Chain A
Amino acid sequence: MIIQILLIPALVAAVLLSLRSRSSLRGQARRKILALATVVLGVLAVLFPDSLQELADAVGVTRGSDLLLYGLVLVQIYLVGSTSVRFREQEGRLVQLARQVAIMDASLRYAVVEGAEQQSPALVAAPVQSSDRTPRQ
């Protein structure tokens, strides 16, 4: 069966690739190409319904709709994996944000100043800048 030789590596690849999917520009571009290919293949499958069956016959699957199902499952697995990676990245940002809020809050509560050199730009310069800007706007 050709389909077995195809499906098993595809399954492993779907898991591995999805976990390694990035939010980089290259990764985004790859996903867009994939989306475009899906649309084109979908249109072709609708226009030429027999082609799906012929493809199924070629790889040793009984029905064309079964082949479609296999493809759908692979896409689903990839989506779950890549979504979890994106989710984790978001979580990482949230953690850093919450940490900064917590430390700032504690510093204010105890009136701790982080080093004298930081105090002047943070506490003095900021109000001056804002009052400078407001009249101009």
Chain B
Amino acid sequence: MEVLVAGHETTAVPERRLASVRDGAPAPAERRPGSASAGRWDDTVVVVRVYNEAPVVGGVIAELVAAGLTVIAVDDASTDGSAAEIDRVGAFRVSHPINLGAGGALQTGFETALRLTDAQYIACFDADGQHQLHDLLGMIERIREGYDVVLGSRFLEEGGPTQMSWLRRTILRSAAKLLRRRGGVELTDAHNGLRIVARHVAADVRLSYAGMAYASQLEEHLTQPDYRIVEHPVHILYTDYSRAKGQPLLNSVNILAELAAHRVTEWGRR
């Protein structure tokens, strides 16, 4: 069953366009993602989805930029001061003219990274401050060992996992078991927003779900047997802010319904 690609033709993304520019061809580019610094993390671009996160997004991105990472911030038509905050801290901002949802924003981030940078690795990082910079850096070092995909897991941590309610824990653990894993990959966590993928993996991603169900679609794609995949322990900070912004558990009903309707529609189609 080819749920991932069926029916939705995303524009073919040409690979490594900017490589020629970087190799010394005359480029009128004053600034582009990937050119900010020639540091240790030069091979990685971080995609941050931003939707009305003005109070925190500046601090989150500033920390990434300060560490020498290139940040593509996808502003999903925020109505607060998020765009100004992004510009202030020096990320490459891509602003949707209309709200496209979490999956739409991530796809935009991937396509921007592929079209405008020659990054080898593309990471996803949440704008609400629940992810830790050192977890991301650890994941970058991990993927450099030759993996295609590194997924963050809240359940691999030593000395007790991230604090979360038992209900959330139970639902996430059972989701991790129930969600289809291709190639029999055993994952301990589901829908963790901290991930990093190699360039060729990102080029194959076609997210077609509008809502949060994109995470299931993405995981189904990333766990295909051709990819070398590994989980990396991460610690999620559930601050009051991220808790207030986070998904209510009842949203899992929306996600399941969206997945089911899509599967019926796409089943058996090429």
Tell me whether A111 and B26 are in contact (CB under 8 A): no
One of A42-50, A53-61, A93-101, A124-132 at the interface: A93-101
Tell me whether B265 and A106 are in contact (CB under 8 A): no
Least CB separation from A123: chain B residue: B28
Interface presence of B11 (CB below 8 A): yes
Least CB separation from A114: chain B residue: B17
One of A3-11, A26-34, A71-79, A84-92 at the interface: A84-92
27 cross-chain CB contacts under 8 A? A19-B264, A19-B265, A20-B264, A85-B265, A88-B265, A91-B210, A94-B98, A96-B10, A99-B111, A102-B97, A103-B108, A103-B115, A105-B95, A106-B95, A106-B112, A110-B30, A110-B31, A111-B29, A111-B30, A112-B29, A112-B31, A112-B33, A112-B116, A113-B21, A115-B14, A115-B21, A116-B20
Least CB separation from B10: chain A residue: A96
Residues of chain B contacted by A98 (CB below 8 angstroms)? 96-98, 100, 104
Identify the 6 closest CB pairs spanning chains A and B, nearest first: A115-B17, A112-B32, A106-B94, A19-B264, A116-B25, A114-B17
Number of interface residues, chain A, beta carbon within 8 A: 30
CA distance A116 to B22 in the complex (A): 10
Least CB separation from B104: chain A residue: A95
Tell me whether B21 and A102 are in contact (CB under 8 A): no
Residues of chain A contacted by B261 (CB below 8 angstroms)? 19, 84
Minimum CB–CB distance from A127 to chain B (whole Å) comes to 17
Interface presence of B175 (CB below 8 A): no
CA distance A78 to B127 in the complex (A): 41
Least CB separation from B96: chain A residue: A102
CA distance A87 to B161 in the complex (A): 42
Residues of chain A contacted by B112 (CB below 8 angstroms)? 103, 106
Tell me whether B95 and A102 are in contact (CB under 8 A): yes
Q: Which of B27, B116, B264 contacts A107 (CB 8 A)?
A: B116
Minimum CB–CB distance from B108 to chain A (whole Å) comes to 5
Tell me whether B21 and A99 are in contact (CB under 8 A): no
Minimum CB–CB distance from B40 to chain A (whole Å) comes to 24
Minimum CB–CB distance from B261 to chain A (whole Å) comes to 6
Interface presence of B82 (CB below 8 A): no
Minimum CB–CB distance from B236 to chain A (whole Å) comes to 28
CA distance A107 to B18 in the complex (A): 12
- Per-residue CB proximity of A10-30 to B under 8 Å, as 1/0? 000000100110000000000
Least CB separation from A15: chain B residue: B264
- Per-residue CB proximity of B43-76 to A under 8 Å, as 1/0? 0000000000000000000000000000000100
Tell me whether B11 and A92 are in contact (CB under 8 A): no
CA distance A84 to B261 in the complex (A): 10
Interface hits, B101-125 → A, CB 8 Å: 104, 107-108, 111-112, 115-116
Interface presence of A118 (CB below 8 A): yes
Interface presence of B173 (CB below 8 A): no
CA distance A103 to B47 in the complex (A): 14
Residues of chain A contacted by B264 (CB below 8 angstroms)? 16, 19-20
CA distance A105 to B95 in the complex (A): 8
Interface presence of B270 (CB below 8 A): no
Interface presence of B92 (CB below 8 A): yes
Residues of chain B contacted by A16 (CB below 8 angstroms)? 264
Minimum CB–CB distance from B125 to chain A (whole Å) comes to 18
Residues of chain B contacted by A85 (CB below 8 angstroms)? 265
Least CB separation from B115: chain A residue: A114
